[in-house]
Amino acid sequence: MLPVLPVLSYLALLLLLAIISATETAIHMARDLDSQLSSARAGVARKLRRITANPFAQLHRTLLLSATLNLALAALGLHLVSGPMLALGWNSWLAATLLFVGTVIIGDMMPKFLAARSPTAVLVGSLRLLNPLRSILDPIAALADRSTDVLIRRLIPQRVKMRQPITRDEFETLVEMRVEQGLLDAAEAAMIREALEIEGLTVRDCMVPRVDLTLMSAFDKPEKTTATLEQSAERYVVVYGETPDVVEGVIDTLAWRLAGRPAWANLLRPATFVPETMPVLDALDAYLKNTTQPVLIVDEYGGLEGMVSQDEIADWLLYEAAPWQGEGAEIRDLGNGRYLLEGGTRIDDVAAALHISFPDTDGLDTIGGLVFNILGHLPKAGERVHLDDADLKVRRVVRARVQQVELRLKKPFTEDIDRQ
C-alpha cells in the first residue's frame, strides 16, 4: 500500500497546480470582466479592476507559482515512482507514464478548459488564494528578475544587442494579441493601427498650401508691410523677393507684435526648405523637433508649395490617430443655446433644426464653407463670425478646412433638435 503522506502531498500540490493553471488561462481570456464588475461586490470589483489594469503582474505571480509547483511535483513524483510504487511491484516506466499523464490532464488540460469557459468566475475564486501570497511571491519574482538580468549581462557579450527594435509586423501582431486577450477593444486597436499609418505621410499631406499662406513682398512700402503683418490670419508670414518662389525668409507675427512692431527686417528669419516628398516624421526629427519655426515645402522645380510647422503636423497626426468620435451627430446640443456643428453640416439643416436664418450663401452648402467665405481667409481656432440670429466660433481647423464650429443663438429656444 502506498504511504498516505506522500500521496496526499502530491494530490494537494496537483490541486494547487490546477488552480494556478486555470488562473493563468483566465487572465489571458477574461474578456467579459467589464460586464461583470457592476454586479460584483465592491471589494471583488476593486480587485478585478486591479487585475485588468495590470494583468501582467498577476500573470507573473501565477507563472512563478506554476514553475515552483511543477518542480515540487516532479521531485515528489520521482520519489513515488522510484520508492513506494517500485516496492509494490509497479513497473517504473509504466508508473512514471501514468503519473505524468494524470498530472497533465488534471493539473493542466482540464483547468484550462474550465477557465476558458468561465474566466471571470475562475479569477474571482483564485483571488482568495493569490492575494495572500503576494507578500511572498512579489519579492521572489523581483529577485528572479534581477538575478536573470545579472546572468544575462555576465554570459552574453557586450557587443551582442540584447533588445532588437520591434518591427511593424511584430507590433501589429502584439496589438492583435491584446485584442484577443481582451486588453484592447476594437476602437482602441483601430486607433493604434491608424497611428501606424502615420509613417507613410509626407509633409505635403500636412502642409498649409501656398494659396492659404500670407505672402509679403520685400519691396512693399512700410505702410503695406505693417498692415500685412497686422492683419495676417497666420502666425508666420513668408517674405519673397521678385516672385513668390524667391523666398527671402519668414517672420513670426507673434514675436513681431511682442517686440513692439519694429521694422520687419529685424525679425526676418532664414527659411528652411524641404522637398514635398519628405516623410513627415523625418521632417519632425530633422527640422522641427526643438523649434516652432516652420519649414517651407518646395516642388521638384524649387517652386513654393506650402508651409508646415509643429502645429500643423500635430493637428494632422492627432486627427488621423484619434478622429473625433461624434462624427455621426452633426448638430450637438451643448446647452444654454450653444451647439457644436460639424464643418460639413448643411446650412439648410441647421436653419431648419434651430429655426434661424442665414445670409445669402451664394451657392455655399456647408457651415464650414460659410465661415470661410465670410472671413475671406483660412480661419483659425477662436475666430468669430457674427450673424443676425447667431454667433459662430471656429472650434477646430484640420487640413485647411473648418472641422468644427460652435454656434450660439442670440435668442435660445427650448425645442429639442432631432439627433441623428
pLDDT at position 203, please? 85
**Pick from 40-44, 170-174, 322-326, 348-352: least confident:** 322-326
Average pLDDT, the chain: 79
pLDDT at position 335, please? 77
Mean pLDDT of 146-160: 71
**Pick from 77-81, 139-143, 367-371: least confident:** 139-143
Choose between 389 and 140: higher pLDDT: 389
| Alpha-carbon distance values, 50 to 34, 108, 276 (Å) | 12, 26, 48
Confidence band for 418, pLDDT divided at 50, 70 and 90: very low
Q: Give the separation between CA 104 and CA 138, rounded to whole angstroms.
A: 27
pTM reported for the whole predicted model: 0.42
Confidence band for 328, pLDDT divided at 50, 70 and 90: very low
Beta bridge partners of 308: 295
Confidence band for 184, pLDDT divided at 50, 70 and 90: confident
Q: Give the separation between CA 35 and CA 51, rounded to whole angstroms.
A: 15
For the four alpha carbons of 390, 400, 360 and 354, in that order, the dihedral sign comes to negative
Confidence band for 172, pLDDT divided at 50, 70 and 90: confident
> Hey, what's the cell of 304?
513654393
Confidence band for 53, pLDDT divided at 50, 70 and 90: low
Q: Give the separation between CA 380 and CA 388, rounded to whole angstroms.
A: 22
Confidence band for 221, pLDDT divided at 50, 70 and 90: very high
> Which residues are within 8 A (CB) of 365 and not within 5 positions of it... i.e. 6 or more apart?
346, 347, 348
C-alpha neighbours within 13 Å on the C-beta side of residue 244 = 16
pLDDT at position 327, please? 43
pLDDT at position 224, please? 92
Q: Cell 465592491 appears where? A: 42
Is 140's pLDDT higher than 90? no
Instruction: Kindly report, residue by residue over 344-369, the tens digit of the pLDDT.
Output: 888 888 888 888 888 876 777 888 88
pLDDT at position 251, please? 93
